[in-house]
Structure 1
Amino acid sequence: MKKSPVSRTGWHKSSYSNGGTNCVEAREHPSGSDVRDSQNPGLGHLSFDSQEWALFLGGVKNPLSK
């Protein structure tokens, strides 16, 4: 995981945000995904490669499985 200065479009709020104000936004691209705070988008984002993103999503969907 690293901070990335790369600028891409296509940000969307998490489907788990339920319209709330404490949300994260994500955008997918060929090399992985980026995540940022929707309240402070100008502060940057974290970038994940495809494998890291898949592992993260697997953990979110099944937090107790190993």
Structure 2
Amino acid sequence: MSTNIKWQKSSFSEGGAQCVEIAEHNGTILMRESDDPNAVTATSRTKFAAFIAGVKAGEFDHFTG
């Protein structure tokens, strides 16, 4: 994996160690956990957009409680 990838994490993450990081590489959305940066998963922009829409709609709120 390229070392030029610019990972982004939420400003809501607690100290940055307990978060999911997101990046874009060659048109693909990449995700990883900050405490396990080698475990990267990839998805399409379309699938990621559908997921974000669900997050904004509160569909995954039950996972945070």
- TM over 0.5, shorter chain: yes
Q: Aligned runs of 1:1-66 on 2, under 5 Å?
A: 6-7=1-2, 9-29=5-25, 31-42=27-38, 44-64=39-59
| Partner residue in 1 for 2:62 | none
Q: Give the aligned residue type for 1:17.
A: S
Mapped partners of 2:18, 2:49: distance in 1: 23
Mapped partners of 1:58, 1:48: distance in 2: 15
Mapped partners of 1:15, 1:61: distance in 2: 16
In structure 2, the CA distance between the partners of 1:52 and 1:15, relative to structure 1 (3 Å rule), is farther
Task: Return the offset for 1:46.
Answer: 1.1
**Would you say the 8 A contact 1:23–1:38 is kept in 2?**
yes
Q: How large is the Cα RMSD of the aligned pairs?
A: 2.0
Mapped partners of 1:62, 1:30: distance in 2: 28
TM-score when normalising by structure 2:
0.69
Task: Return the offset for 1:15.
Answer: 3.4
Which residues of structure 2 form unaligned runs of 5+? 60-65
